[in-house]
Amino acid sequence: MTRYILHRILQGIPLLFFISIILFVLMMNMGDPIATMGGRTATRPADRERLKRQLGLDKPIVVQYFYWLAGNDWTKIDLDGDGIGETYGERKGVLRGDFGYSLVNRGKPALAVIGERIPNTLILMVAAELVIILGSLLVGVYSALHQYSFTDHFITTLSFIGYSMPIFFIALLSMYIFAVLFKRWGLPYLPTVGMFDPQVGKTAGQVILHMILPVLSISVISLAAYSRYIRSTMLEVMNQDYIRTAKAKGLPRPQIVYIHALKNASLPIVTVIGLDLPLLLGGAVVTERIFAWPGMGRLFLDHVERGDLPVVMGILMLISVAVVVFQILTDIVYAWLDPRIRFG
């Protein structure tokens, strides 16, 4: 088992290198970092040149990537353009945890800029995962056990609609219903903007209240997709020979469903859930934009607009690491659930 985990981690590392190379190449045309740094003040051509050299933008892309990865504090940088390096660089490189300084929030490490936003996105993700997993298990198992009933057909249709919903449409629609219409009808209505009401302050209750609609918007698509998937997986498992054996033993139905069937059905479900984190994170971008949620997704959009490469690249890499780590965790959970792998 330990060997298996090590093996998976070792597989993840080259993958992350691949990802970083792809992203780095794409970053090459993301706008003008010098202009972003200069802000509104018109920068003289000489200053531009100096900044360019300072940022290492005069070097070929391979060297730039290498500096990004491993830093340039071990080599002399040519700042005045005479071809001779005079001062050591200051960057430590991503491998040593240095993603560079944000160009927008000058002087602030990119990682710190991102770090402020991570918890906000994280609570959205965790809440959404919980809603998705618990909700889809409930719905999926129920409709599998009541196959072809009216409720089952109803749920199937509903999940097709949910699965086809663009997130922004879910968000806008739910805002309209639960905020606008509920307010109009004099019902208690939900807030739609930000993380808390500034007049009340950032209390847990406020954050939870403000989370409801964003979490709903992020969850609907996956909830719908997993419900269907769990339904079909459960149906398939319920038709297996070992379920018939369990019935032949005279076990009561709940024991058959929740121990014999669900434990087997959870294997493919775990895999699917593990693979879908990218989708969820993508959903967060749109959701955070609509609900003005101060998370990583919104930070990403804001800083992409302004060409803040270190922050953009930092977010993308952190997300990729999260995705890879989540997949490894999934594999471990899978192996832990499936004795054929655990003892294989």
Partner 1 sequence: MGILNIMIAESTPNLFVDDLETPPLPLTTLAWKRFKRHRMAMLGGVFLILLVLYSFGGSLFVEEKYANFTNPPIRLNTPSWQHPFGTDTVGRDVLARTIYGGQISMIIGILAVIIETSLGILIGALAGYYGGTIDSLLMRFTEAMLNIPEIFLLIVMAKFFGNKIPNLTLLGRTFSGSVVVIIVIIGLTSWMYLARIVRAEFLSIKENDFILAAKATGTSNTEIIIRHILPNSIAPIIVSATLGIANAILSEAYISFLGLGVQPPTATWGNMLDGANNYIESAPWLWFFPGLLILLTVLSINFLGDGLRDAIDPHSRAI
Partner 2 sequence: MTKQPLLDVKNLVTEFIIPEGIVYAVNGISFNVNPGETLAVVGESGCGKSVSMLSVMGLIPTPPGIIVDGEAIYGNKNLFKLAEEEMEQIRGKEIAMVFQDPMTSLNPVLTIGKQITEALICHFDITKNDARDRAISLLDMVGIPEARNRLDDYPHQFSGGMRQRVMIAMALACDPHLLIADEPTTALDVTIQAQIVELVLQLKRQKDMAVIWITHDLGVVAGIADRVNVMYAGYIVEEALVDDLYEDPRHPYTCGLLGSLPRVDHRRERKLCSIPGSPPSLLVKPVGCPFRPRCQYSKEICQFETPKLRETSRGHHVACWIDIQSGEQISGS
C-alpha distances (whole Å) from 17 to each of 12, 14, 317, 328 are: 9, 5, 10, 16
Min separation Cβ 76 and partner 1, Å:
32
Partner from partner 2, partner 1, none contacting 111, C-beta within 5 to 8 A by type: none
- Minimum CB separation of residue 10 from partner 2 in Å reads 26
The span from the CA of 329 to the CA of 308, in Å, is 32
Nearer residue to partner 2 within complex by CB, 30 or 267: 267
What does 247 bind: partner 2, partner 1, none (CB cut-off 5 to 8 Å by kind)?
partner 2
Q: Which is nearer to partner 1, 77 or 220 (CB)?
A: 220
Nearest approach in angstroms of CB 289 to partner 1 is 7
Judged by beta carbon, residue 165 or residue 333, the one nearer partner 1 is: 165
Nearer to partner 2, 111 or 269 (CB): 269
Angle at 213 between CA 208 and CA 219, to 5 degrees: 105
Q: Are 293 and 287 in contact (CB under 8 A)?
A: yes
3-state helix, strand, coil in the chain (%, to 5): 70, 0, 25
Q: Pick the closer one to partner 1 by CB: 317 or 335.
A: 317
Q: How far apart are CA 195 and CA 294, in angstroms?
A: 7
Taking the complex as a whole, the smallest distance from the CB of residue 89 to partner 2 amounts, in Å, to 55
Question: What residues line the site for partner 2 (CB under 8 A)?
Answer: 148, 239-242, 244-253, 255, 259-260, 263-264, 267, 337-340, 343-344
CA 136/CA 228 separation, integer angstroms: 8
For 139, the token pair is 């719905």
> Buried b / exposed e across 93-107, counting CB within 10 Å, b at 16+?
bbeeebbbbbbbeee
Q: Which residues sit at the interface with partner 1, rule CB under 8 A? A: 14-15, 18-19, 22-23, 26-31, 157, 160-161, 163-169, 171-173, 175-176, 179-180, 192, 225, 228-229, 232, 235-236, 239, 241, 272, 278-279, 281-283, 285-286, 289-290, 300-301, 304, 312, 315-316, 319-320, 323-324, 327
Which residue's CB is nearer to partner 1, number 85 or number 268?
Answer: 268
Could you say which of partner 2, partner 1, none residue 340 binds, taking C-beta under 5 to 8 angstroms by partner kind? partner 2
Partner that binds at residue 27, options partner 1, partner 2, none, CB closer than 5 to 8 Å by kind: partner 1
- Whole-angstrom distance, CA of residue 205 vs CA of residue 211: 10
Which of 133, 138, 136 shows the shortest CA–CA distance to 227? 136
Nearer to partner 2 by C-beta: 97 or 254? Answer: 254
Q: Which does 248 bind (CB under 5 to 8 A by kind): partner 1, partner 2, none?
A: partner 2
Closest C-alpha among 102, 104, 84, 125 to residue 36: 104
3 state DSSP class of 290: helix
Query: Could you say which of partner 1, partner 2, none residue 260 binds, taking C-beta under 5 to 8 angstroms by partner kind?
Result: partner 2
Residues 203 and 197: their CA atoms lie apart, in Å, by 9
